[in-house]
Homo-oligomer: A and B are copies of this chain.
Amino acid sequence: MVYLTRKEHFNAAHQVVNPKWSEEKNKDVFGKCANKNWHGHNYDLYVTVKGNPNPETGFIMNVKELSLIIKDQVLNKLDHKNLNLDVPEMKDKFPTTENLSIEIWKMLEPYISECKLHCVKLWETDNIYTEYFGE
């Protein structure tokens, strides 16, 4: 079994606030991330699949096809978007890197058929990333 990873990129605006909390408590917990006029990030997304190389191609899956699936199913929905306002999958969810990596897994998983989705890794800044393995 070999693991194959493809990196893609998107950028987006967001805001992290708990609507049930006061402005003060939101500032306390979420700091500058609660700015009501939004802020944003360049997100680096690494998608890992696993499987055995196909004897006809030497590929687990064609990495160009993997790239197209990521573009169609994820980047189309998230790139240059507002994660709070423009993305139905994130509705009523905190747009944290944690939740975003879980939703990206759900967007991708049904479309990986030749091999298995193994990990969604999402960098929010150069200093923070999350990983989700589907369970």
Chain A positions near chain B (C-beta within 8 angstroms): 1-9, 11-14, 16, 18, 29-33, 35, 37-42, 53, 56-60, 62-64, 79-82, 85-86, 93-99, 101-102, 125-133, 135
Beta-carbon nearest neighbor of A51 in chain B: B98
Interface of A is mostly: mixed
Q: Which residues of B contact A82 (CB under 8 A)?
A: 35, 37-39
3 smallest beta-carbon distances between A and B, as pairs: A40-B40, A58-B94, A32-B80
Q: Which residues of B contact A11 (CB under 8 A)?
A: 39-41, 125
Check A53 against B96 for contact (C-beta < 8 Å): yes
Contact B132–A37 (Cβ < 8 Å): no
